[in-house]
Amino acid sequence: MQSLQELQQELERYKLEHQKLSQRVEELSDFIENASVPIHWVDENGIIIWANQAELDLLGYSADEYIGHHIKDFHQDEFTINDILQRLSSDQILKDFPAILKSKDDSVKHVRINSNVYRKNGEFIHTRCITTDITATIENELKQAEMLTELEESEARLRMALSISNLGTWDYNVTNGILKWSEGCKEIYGLNPDAEVDYEAFSKHIYPDDREFVEAEIKKALDPGNGSYDIIYRITRFDNDAVVWIKSYGKVYFDETGKAVRFIGSVLDITSAKLANEQILRNEKLFKAIVQNIPNSLILIIDKDHRFLTVEGDLMEKLGYKPIDYKGTHPSDVLNADRYEAAKPLFERVLSGKTFSVEYKAATGEDLKIHLIPLKDDRDKVYAGLLIATDITDSKKAEEKGAKLAAIVESSDDAIISKTLEGIITSWNDAAKRLFGYTADEIIGKPIQTLFPEDRLDEETEILSRLHRGERVEHFETQRKTKDGKIIDLSLTISPIRDSKNNIIGLSKIARDITSKKQEDMRKNDFIAIVSHELKTPLTSVKSYVQLLLAKAKKENDQFITNALSRTEIQVNKMASMINDFLSLARLEEGKVYLRMEDFELHVLMVELVNDAQFLASGHTIKLQDCDEIIVHGDRDKIGQVLINLLSNAIKYSPKGTTIILGCKKVAGKVNIYVTDEGIGISETDQKRLFERFYRVDNQLKTVSGFGIGLYLVSEILKFHDSKIIVESVEGKGSTFSFELEEVKIK
């Protein structure tokens, strides 16, 4: 029997034991409760009966939200948890069993579960589950797998690019510093396919000026979180040190700690594109120079995306585009949508390599011609499009004017014919067809002589030589032959056709049928001839009687009658000279002019004429500027008639009190005879027509009598003497009429 003391001692001992034990339990539960490893217990129904703080922290729940709930609620995959519970209830021990848990924030946790069942007396008390969070590892694995596919994909892409362009690839292992280049890459660098490279060699072949930039870019790419690399720079080739422009594109891959591990990328030789660019710049200067020399023009260069590389010329603004600097802009940004839409097909066509031109009417009314030319590189690849626009408004107008003129020519009543200098007919209007009977088809291409009567075949040579001297042949009266052989009278006006450089390239002829006018002229001539002839006989007897009476009156010293008869004689003489002119004209027209050529002393004739003239014109002083002892060859009467005409004109057309000179001088073996007055003068336009038949100047001296045949006769008579009448005159100052005759040398 134990003593009370002993019992007490034993109790104390138990107490102590108990104390120790409970402290131990406390320590243990604290250890488990606060362990860094997540632990939980589940009962045989799958209800969580306990979980430590680490477990709650892992998934983010409070104890209430977790403990007392079914474990299934926290598993992502029902199949897995059923499997786990099944295994545990059949007393299996789970080791690193994979599972996925749901966190409170809907994220998932990848875990490995180690678990077994705690039984007491064979009875299921609870499971003991230790969870290990491997989410980070799993994610890392996934990322790596992703990265790998990405790598594979980008490599595949590179390989593809490689096969379609001269692209090279490189692969730089940042960790061990090994650099690998593809064959294409080596080719760009001028290396053999089996050559080895390293980073140092790569760095050495960066063009010196670009090295700093490239190295900075590489460093930037390797910075964690960056990884991109896309630059253009120059390298020097290994084989020939040639400078090559490359575009290098790369990507850096980092490990889970953010350390760069792999740097891969591509290089593309863009030298030719770069050179093309330089070519564009060079061309630009050239185009600028061209444009500045073509007024109203515009030069545009567009790149493959239609961007304006060059815009030169003043036309842009003229066409109503904004006055901005278009260089470098894209049409979609600077033009209104309609305009760009309209231009787009043209841009596309030229960039596809076609050369073509279009005409275009600008909104502002100008007509433009636009030439589109593709610009190609050495390999015949289009790198840009050149557009040259010129304002053709003027030439368009000229074209229209030409068409209008052609219409006028066609509808003219006068025959209008043009021909080459060789005399080949090149155009033929409707009136020409009516006049000559030939259709345009029949006659164009034929020699003009087809229309000439046999006796006038050499007339063309004369006309040509006159035109060559620059003269316009006007109202040239001649005859031509129609298709059915009829001879017609024509008045021709012939003018030279000149090219833009003023060279004569052909002739145009306007022919007017004057046959009926001719016939009328003939009748008029006949009439004048008859009348003059009939008047001449009575006038001659009047003249003789006047002279007779005058002699008598002088003898009887009857001053009044002498005076009156002298005046009568002057008037009779005037009348006689007029009738003489009419007769001469009629004879001339009929071709009945006969010259009585002789050598005669000019001086004697001139003295006679001056005396006669002075007798006629009492108000004027008539002076003789003589050259003595000159013998000339000609028809004395007719030359006399010429000079009488010139003198009487000088008297008629100059005021009283002025001086008239009849003179002569020797000029280069010839004798120049002239009549100078201080009269009203003749305008330049009238000077050209003075010598036409019946031409009279429409001047203020309406009262001066005359028919406009005097100067015509003068010029015709002189023509028979192989001479020509020349007029020099200044309006209001006076005129000089002169001509030359051959001097006869006395042996």
Q: Which residues bind ligand ADP (CB under 6 A)?
A: 649-650, 653, 677, 679-680, 682, 690, 695-697, 699, 706-712, 735
- Cβ proximity of 694 and 712 under 8 Å: yes
Smallest gap from Cβ 617 to ligand ADP, in A, equals: 13
Smallest gap from Cβ 463 to ligand ADP, in A, equals: 25
The structure tokens 């001269």 sit at: 166
Instruction: Report the residue number, 59 or 682, with the smaller CB distance to ligand ADP.
Output: 682
The structure tokens 């001056």 sit at: 610
Nearest Cα residue to 104 out of 62, 149, 135, 60: 60
**At CB < 8 A and 24+ separation, what contacts does 489-495 make?**
489/513, 489/514, 489/515, 489/517, 489/518, 490/514, 494/463, 494/467, 495/467
Instruction: Report the residue number, 423 or 710, with the smaller CB distance to ligand ADP.
Output: 710
Q: Which residue is nearest to ligand ADP (CB)?
A: 706
Q: Which residues contact 106 (CB under 8 A, 6 or more apart)?
A: none
Instruction: Report the residue number, 114 or 699, with the smaller CB distance to ligand ADP.
Output: 699
Q: Token digits for 4?
A: 């009370």
φ and ψ at residue 27, rounded to 5 degrees:
-60, -45
Q: Which residues contact 7 (CB under 8 A, 6 or more apart)?
A: none
Smallest gap from Cβ 644 to ligand ADP, in A, equals: 11
Instruction: Report the residue number, 109 or 620, with the smaller CB distance to ligand ADP.
Output: 620
First to last CA, the chain: 210
Give the neighbor-by-neighbor strand order of the sheet with 670-676. Answer: 621-625, 659-667, 670-676, 734-742, 726-730
- Taking the C-alpha atoms of 133, 135, 136 and 138 in order, what is their torsion angle to the nearest 10 degrees? 120
Instruction: Report the residue number, 128 or 719, with the smaller CB distance to ligand ADP.
Output: 719
Spatial separation of the C-alpha atoms in residues 234 and 216, rounded to whole Å: 15
Smallest gap from Cβ 716 to ligand ADP, in A, equals: 11
Instruction: Report the residue number, 360 or 707, with the smaller CB distance to ligand ADP.
Output: 707
Instruction: Report the residue number, 63 or 697, with the smaller CB distance to ligand ADP.
Output: 697
φ and ψ at residue 96, rounded to 5 degrees:
50, 45
Instruction: Report the residue number, 529 or 713, with the smaller CB distance to ligand ADP.
Output: 713
Smallest gap from Cβ 610 to ligand ADP, in A, equals: 16
Smallest gap from Cβ 523 to ligand ADP, in A, equals: 22
Instruction: Report the residue number, 384 or 673, with the smaller CB distance to ligand ADP.
Output: 673
Instruction: Report the residue number, 273 or 697, with the smaller CB distance to ligand ADP.
Output: 697
- Cβ proximity of 343 and 359 under 8 Å: no
Instruction: Report the residue number, 603 or 696, with the smaller CB distance to ligand ADP.
Output: 696
Smallest gap from Cβ 581 to ligand ADP, in A, equals: 8
Instruction: Report the residue number, 506 or 708, with the smaller CB distance to ligand ADP.
Output: 708
Spatial separation of the C-alpha atoms in residues 610 and 651, rounded to whole Å: 12
- Cβ proximity of 419 and 451 under 8 Å: no
Smallest gap from Cβ 667 to ligand ADP, in A, equals: 22
Spatial separation of the C-alpha atoms in residues 368 and 350, rounded to whole Å: 18
CB atoms within 10 A of CB 711: 23
Smallest gap from Cβ 726 to ligand ADP, in A, equals: 13
**3-state SS class at 407:** helix
Smallest gap from Cβ 712 to ligand ADP, in A, equals: 6
Smallest gap from Cβ 574 to ligand ADP, in A, equals: 12
How many helices (DSSP H) and strands (DSSP E) are in the chain?
Answer: 22, 27
φ and ψ at residue 472, rounded to 5 degrees:
-100, 135
Nearest Cα residue to 268 out of 168, 189, 193: 168
Q: Which residues contact 728 (CB under 8 A, 6 or more apart)?
A: 735, 736, 738
Smallest gap from Cβ 725 to ligand ADP, in A, equals: 11
Instruction: Report the residue number, 431 or 711, with the smaller CB distance to ligand ADP.
Output: 711
Smallest gap from Cβ 588 to ligand ADP, in A, equals: 13
Strands 260-269, 297-302: parallel, antiparallel or unpaired by DSSP? Answer: unpaired
Smallest gap from Cβ 681 to ligand ADP, in A, equals: 6
Instruction: Report the residue number, 331 or 710, with the smaller CB distance to ligand ADP.
Output: 710
Question: Which H, E and C letters describe 167-236, residue by residue?
Answer: EEEEEEECCCCEEEECHHHHHHHCCCCCCCCCHHHHHHCECHHHHHHHHHHHHHHHCCCCCEEEEEEEEE
Smallest gap from Cβ 643 to ligand ADP, in A, equals: 13
- Cβ proximity of 351 and 427 under 8 Å: no
What single-letter amino acid sits at 151? Answer: L
Nearest Cα residue to 440 out of 428, 426, 452: 428
Smallest gap from Cβ 614 to ligand ADP, in A, equals: 17
Q: Token digits for 545?
A: 């009687």
Instruction: Report the residue number, 327 or 574, with the smaller CB distance to ligand ADP.
Output: 574
Q: Token digits for 339?
A: 């305009």
Instruction: Report the residue number, 283 or 738, with the smaller CB distance to ligand ADP.
Output: 738
**3-state SS class at 453:** coil
**At CB < 8 A and 24+ separation, what contacts does 217-221 make?**
218/263, 221/250, 221/252, 221/263
Smallest gap from Cβ 687 to ligand ADP, in A, equals: 9
Exposed, middle or buried by CB within 10 Å (0-12, 13-18, 19+), for 569?
Answer: middle
How long is the chain?
Answer: 747
Instruction: Report the residue number, 457 or 701, with the smaller CB distance to ligand ADP.
Output: 701
